[in-house]
Amino acid sequence: MTTQQERHLHLQVNRKLSYCLQLAQDYFQCEFPRPAVSYQLRGVKAGVAYLREWEIRLNPVLLLENQQTFIDQVVPHELAHLVVYQLFGRVPPHGKEWKMVMTEVFGVPADTKHQFAVQSVQGKTYPYRCACQIHYLSIRRHNKVLRDGVEYFCKQCKTRLRFEKVETRDTKFKKS
């Protein structure tokens, strides 16, 4: 990303943040401090709100690849978490309070997950099978299974995920 392009996107993020902050202040008739914004988030998450630090961390690669949609959806999504935390304390992250802020205050659909392509930011994955499908676990989760004995379960069929060993040319013809 060029410095000029980066500056332009950061400016757009800040404009959206200011706009949404003003909407929240007008709606709730109270002041909200401006959160710090960082562009250091990696991996497949588009954004994360750090409640106690009053900070929003954004994924710069996903921002660059999905500029307008990212700004229109991810910035309000993360700010809504901070607004809800200040007003209601610890409540479910995508609960009724968060949904209300998203839809009634910001006028944005209360989507809990983004639909961005993640191939450019996704690390190596490992296939795991349940009774109904194949899941792909990140290297971090795969290592937790191997090192710590952590178990993961399918949300649909509720069965334990089992590592699906992929037969490569090296393992297929390996002599014992």
Q: Where residue 77 falls among pLDDT bands split at 50, 70, 90?
A: very high
Res. 34: pLDDT tops 70:
yes
Q: What phi, psi does 137 have (nearest 5°)?
A: -95, 145
Tens-digit pLDDT profile for residues 81-119: 999 999 999 999 999 999 999 999 999 999 887 776 667
Query: Which among 31, 53, 55, 78 is annotated as catalytic?
Result: 78
DSSP 8-state assignment for residue 66: T
Tens-digit pLDDT profile for residues 38-60: 999 887 788 999 999 999 999 99
Burial 15-30 (b: 16+ CB within 10 A, else e): ebbeebbebbeeeeee
Q: What is the pLDDT of residue 117?
A: 62
Cite the annotated binding site for Zn(2+) by residue number: 77, 81
Domains and CATH numbers, the chain: 3-105 (3.30.2010.10), 125-172 (no CATH)
pTM value?
0.71
Positive or negative, the CA dihedral 47, 51, 56, 59 is negative
* Sheet arrangement for strand 162-163: 134-138, 125-129, 162-163
Q: Is 65 a catalytic residue?
A: no
Q: Which helix (H) or strand (E) holds 72?
A: helix 67-88
Give the rounded distance of the alpha carbon of 135 from its chain centre.
19
